[in-house]
Structure 1
């Protein structure tokens, strides 16, 4: 007789994330997840209460890859830069779940621990608590803006669309071919400008 697959929390998360990666957030349901795992939907509820709880578990797993250790040496610029780069990289691995993550830390332990380290590192460096909150929020805008869209991929490769009507965009058709490189460099430019600009505002 066929055996019922043994379920585990990690296996459920892996399968759920696979569905989201392939079909987007709307493609995930407890019924589809159960079918993916070869079990009945009722079997899942011994491990996760609701789909929303499962999404929070997935978010926590992804956010474990965000590195906030750079604040430990007291260099807030280094900490902020490491946090931003690792955050963008973590989101890039699973872009379809980014809209769920973009709503803020909610009650997610992994997110709150990292936010606590970021906030503490900034305050220790001399920023006020209000400024630290604003910097953390601004960093999220930067990271999630980069994760939610690709500026370069949004152009057509048809040169005729731009050449005659938009003379300053006569090379825009070349952007999709170098989208990954240009998006990376654009993020780095924005991040450097953000951190350098903040440094000028820090009270001495």
Structure 2
């Protein structure tokens, strides 16, 4: 007798067998998981801790979500519902791509764990929100005439995810200090200047950042890099 194939390890590849109940639904589980992830990151999230916060036993929890990996798939897809993609028939593809990239970044900074887990969250790309996002981006880039829209989108997202991952990690460090970003930078900069003594470019860079809102500096860095990426993509469009 032939062995049964192994099931696909994804929440999107199996039917939900437990009926939603007002006291404990899959949606409620995912919402609470996102609260925990936003507060303490992926390492602090466990099914046991989540069950305790929901006043639910392990058996009740596992009826809705079988594993932490499934939970992460659901959480990723849920927050992707916050990412805005402008109308796919936008007359200015560059402005639309800029808005989409900015919305992705803003979402990743509201949920600092997101960017770092995108490549680890199982088959999260099969989730309804992420699939809708991918479809809208693909239509936007196809309509404007990119010969390889999927590669253009991947190039754009690689930049946005990379920048967002670094930025979210920085903001997490700031948050753990108990200080505002302005306060943290003010305390950090003198030590950085001293360490950079003898490196003229670095010293000048630190001096130029004095009395400037660090959030403005982050915004400017993101915008500069995004413009460079879009400049490069524009060269791929047929003239």
After TM superposition, the score normalised by the length of structure 1 is: 0.84
In structure 2, the partner of 1:54 is 71
Structure 2, gaps ≥5 residues long: 1-21, 174-184
Secondary structure in 2 matching 1:98? helix
Match of 1:179 among 186, 211, 214: 214
Taking the TM superposition and a 5 Å limit, the aligned residue runs for 1:1-204 are 6-103=23-120, 106-128=125-147, 131-150=148-167, 156-157=188-189, 158=191, 159-162=193-196, 164-173=197-206, 175=209, 178-204=213-239
Q: Does the C-alpha gap of structure 1 residues 193 and 181 become closer, same or farther in structure 2, counting only changes over 3 Å?
A: same
Give distance in 1, aligned partners of 2:89 and 2:71.
Answer: 31
Q: Does the C-alpha gap of structure 1 residues 7 and 202 become closer, same or farther in structure 2, counting only changes over 3 Å?
A: same
Secondary structure in 2 matching 1:95? coil
Structure 1, gaps ≥5 residues long: none
Residues 103-112 or 9-18, more deviating: 103-112
Tell me the CA shift for residue 138 of structure 1: 0.9
Contact 2:101 2:160 in 1 (8 A): yes
Q: Give the root-mean-square deviation of aligned CA atoms.
A: 2.5
Tell me the CA shift for residue 172 of structure 1: 4.3
Tell me the CA shift for residue 173 of structure 1: 4.1
Give distance in 2, aligned partners of 1:33 and 1:126.
Answer: 46
Give distance in 1, aligned partners of 2:119 and 2:102.
Answer: 16
After TM superposition, the score normalised by the length of structure 2 is: 0.73
Aligned pairs, number: 196
Tell me the CA shift for residue 50 of structure 1: 2.0
Contact 1:65 1:90 in 2 (8 A): yes
